[in-house]
Amino acid sequence: MTSVKERFLRYIKIDTQSDMNSQAVPTTKKQFDLAKVLVEELKELGLQDASLDENCYVMATLPANTDKKLPVIGFIAHMDTSPEVSGANVNPQIIEKYDGKDLLLNKELDMHVTLEEFPELKKYIGEEMIFSDGTTLLGADDKAGIAMIMAALEKLINDPSIKHGTIKVGFTPDEEVGEGATHFDVKKFGADFAYTIDGGEIGELEYETFNAAEARITIHGKSVHPGSAKNKMVNAIHVATEFDAILPVQERPEYTAVYEGFYHLLSFEGDIETCKMIYIIRDHSREIFEKRKSLMKKAADLINDRYSAGTLEMEMKDQYYNMREKIEPVFHIIELAQAAFAELGIKPITIPVRGGTDGSRLSYMGLPCPNLFTGGMFAQVDMNVSQLPPWKKARR
């Protein structure tokens, strides 16, 4: 039997980074590299209907081994890794027994994960740890989830004394860019409910996410020679900063936690003639979420009133909604997970997700889908260490 660790170390070697600027489906073709491996492994395990479609979705069925009437349960994980940091040439570091000290990621680049910055490391003293060398993502989000699902399937197949109903398995592309559920065929999948295996530390059981929207803004300026610019020039950079200043400073991600939502300026580029900005808007409360979007629209109107119509153009779209609204009517699926945790001696950690999962959108597509832990911990250091001044390199 192949262990979770063995599978994980094999999967993270396959680069599956997605691309938020791509309009292709999936956003990167290299996600098919892992998808093809997984569908073949599912077939080798003996699952039925193992398939890989043109959009890079993998699905399969493990038939029930009991006559007892049981719900059809799905387990889902995503194959892509974040577009923010490379997922190529992953070089995992392994400590068999963590001693509770700072982690040295990369001696050559003097990169560390320190207890000062990440005191939660102390939770893992005495345990085996796997982490990257600091130049790439490790890929635990979410190849750890994939490895766990595959190992669990093999265990169930090899031990028929464990009775179970029909189990559906799905692996999705492009979750990291918010498109993981876009082409997911809920009807084909055929589960009554499902769980994404895409969380953090042991015990996480999540069924509340943000409501989310994205706003793409283009500001049109007018460039005039500065020597004769009075009452003529409109500097798009200054207009952009004016717009940003209208939004509440204390409602940015760096000042919020738990149930507090935010406006987040994700990117900014431009010059006097044209500036482009991308914001994401987040809140757990649907009512406050709508107020946030309204405030952003009012800020855009104010800029256009201040300068002229069309100075600021904004395209805003909703991305996903808080899954809690769809989970509460079927709360027994949370209680089922809690009972399984209790049987294993695991204390549930139920916290609001300050983000979203495939399950956020799937829940609104008719497949209630809370999220379960993988056992990973997220501790991102600055990957572009070569670009930092010397006095900033030491503690990264």
Which phi and psi angles does 74 have, rounded to 5°? -110, 150
The amino acid that residue 251 corresponds to is E
Contact criterion met (CB below 8 Å) for 325 and 370: no
For residue 339 the two structure tokens come to 């009972």
Write out the catalytic residue numbers.
Answer: 80, 175
The amino acid that residue 196 corresponds to is T
For residue 214 the two structure tokens come to 């994205």
At 164 the three-state DSSP class reads coil
Q: What secondary structure letter does DSSP report for 251?
A: G
The amino acid that residue 218 corresponds to is T
**What is the C-alpha to C-alpha distance for residues 76 and 80, in angstroms, rounded to an integer?**
13
Alpha carbon of residue 370 to chain centroid: 14
Q: How distant, in Å, are the alpha carbons of 174, 229, 252, 254 from that of 81? A: 8, 47, 25, 23
**What is the C-alpha to C-alpha distance for residues 189 and 359, in angstroms, rounded to an integer?**
14
Which phi and psi angles does 271 have, rounded to 5°? -145, -165
Give the list of residues 6+ apart from residue 320 with CB closer than 8 angstroms, or none: 178, 209, 210, 211, 212, 356, 360, 361, 364
